Structure 1
Amino acid sequence: MQTGYELSHLSALEAESVHIFREVAATFERPVLLFSGGKDSAVMLELARKAFWPAPLPFALMHVDTGRNFDEVIEFRDRTVARLGARLVVAKVQDDIDAGRTTERQGESRNRLQTATLLRGISENRFDAVFGGARRDEEKARAKERVFSFRDEFGSWEPRAQRPEVWNLYNGNHRSGQHIRVFPLSNWTELDIWEYIDREGVELPSLYYAHRREVFRRDGMLLATNPFLTPAADESILEARVRFRTLGDADCTGCVESEADNPAAVIAETAVTRLTERGATRADDRISESGMEDRKREGYF
């Protein structure tokens, strides 16, 4: 007998993500969820909460802290962790710089230095599954990565050696010292994320909504003035109403002019945009045509 019941597009994505969380919790010993305080990790955390409710999260959260975050993001991160009563592991890039494990180059973003800190955090805590908020629509290297992404003893990813994923059957087999990156949002788009935020009332840092702030233009990108980023002598500061589509380090994340101060308005803007969020507002992704894939091969998110 047919009931006519059918899941909506968003509910189907939600069900898939919840299944992935439960699959990992059942088959891995020490999972961890990467939580930066951005919109994707906020949605991922909400899905994880739903997957195990009313029980607490069965795994810790981890933030790879470059030390160059927006203040609003760190405040949101700490408030969210306290609200959920979760355990937060903070791996600091500065610790690796101080210990000589990585070298900071003058004038460069610390984004590339995150890889060594991430791998150290995984190794020290013996995490065997790492949830990340990457989506396939963001960037071409991420588009070809599996939901369960195998990483070797060095944290490296080899695209040509990926395991097949048939339907919703995932292969989490690995040896000691290796781990699996897991991407519950792989099949979501930026628009899906915002529609889910609107539907579920997911809280985000205020930077995702239109606000007035001082900005300047560099290489065709609007950048916000902040303690980590100041304009050059030939770059003029102006005040504009802007929002951030994605939140990375304060010294390499651009914003867009916008009047969207609520999820519904952001959805309307997102529906007509022709540029991905990373391509439009992340200076660290403009290093080379294969910049993201090169970093992922080395162990990046």
Structure 2
Amino acid sequence: MRLGTVRVDEGRLAAVERDGLWYALDVPEGPEGTALEAVLAAGAEETRRLAASATRKLQDAVPVAPLRPGKIVAIGLNYLDHIREAGMEKPERPLMFAKFPSSVIGPGEPIVLDEELTERVDWEVELAAVIGAPLRYASQAEALAGVAGYTVANDVSARDLQFSDGQWTRGKNLDTFCPLGPVVVTPDELGDPQSLALRTVVNGETVQDSSTAEMLFGVAELLSYCSRAFTLEPGDVVLTGTPWGCGEFMDPRRSLKPGDVVEVSVEGIGTLRNPVTGRR
């Protein structure tokens, strides 16, 4: 199933995509419309039932960020090809950091650069796992079974802030620095998360082209590891790392600037496209 949140005249609705058309999921609505998080947390069987019974076609539906995560856990240095290009040692265990939910934007929304604050903003295509069941002290099998679906993420990073601060909080969490979407694809449709092609295209030029097979720690291992430290809850999102091709490590170094267009793609999910603008 291909699930998402769309904007229509009546507000924001959870929906299922079939053959390029969106159909409303018949679930109770909250103050801001139907939350996809509630659909995914109901479990795979109920999600399938809701999707199968969705018949109300949504005209002029515009995909937005699929969900607003309770928390976003991100993993650094998790691709062997990225570790090689950065000239760093392989970490002995997953390197975790957090991104704020306030940094989330959806398809088509602008990544906003404050050029008085940062001059070295980078792209990072990532496979993002969306949690559907509480995970605490989960085995790898239990962790993978707790995934409701996968989406595409762009872990936008202000490298100058990231490296000068000595830790990553500010450089990873500027507003608009976590594009998500365009859809959440359920595990039964996506298949093996460790054999998916990833790509980043900036202004029509491919800059990242790799596979999740390059992960140092796979999705199941990452989620199990996280769950030993804290509970992963329904609606949480885990970003699983980025491959080679980041602009910071090119020669000469490249950074995003207003007027650029960034497209990040994961095989079987789709492409997340965002323009880049300056602060107004």
TM-score range, shorter chain: under 0.3
More strand by share: 2
TM-score under structure 2 length normalisation: 0.26
Task: Give the structure, 1 or 2, with the largest relative contact order (CA under 8 Å, sep 6 or more).
Answer: 2
TM-score under structure 1 length normalisation: 0.25
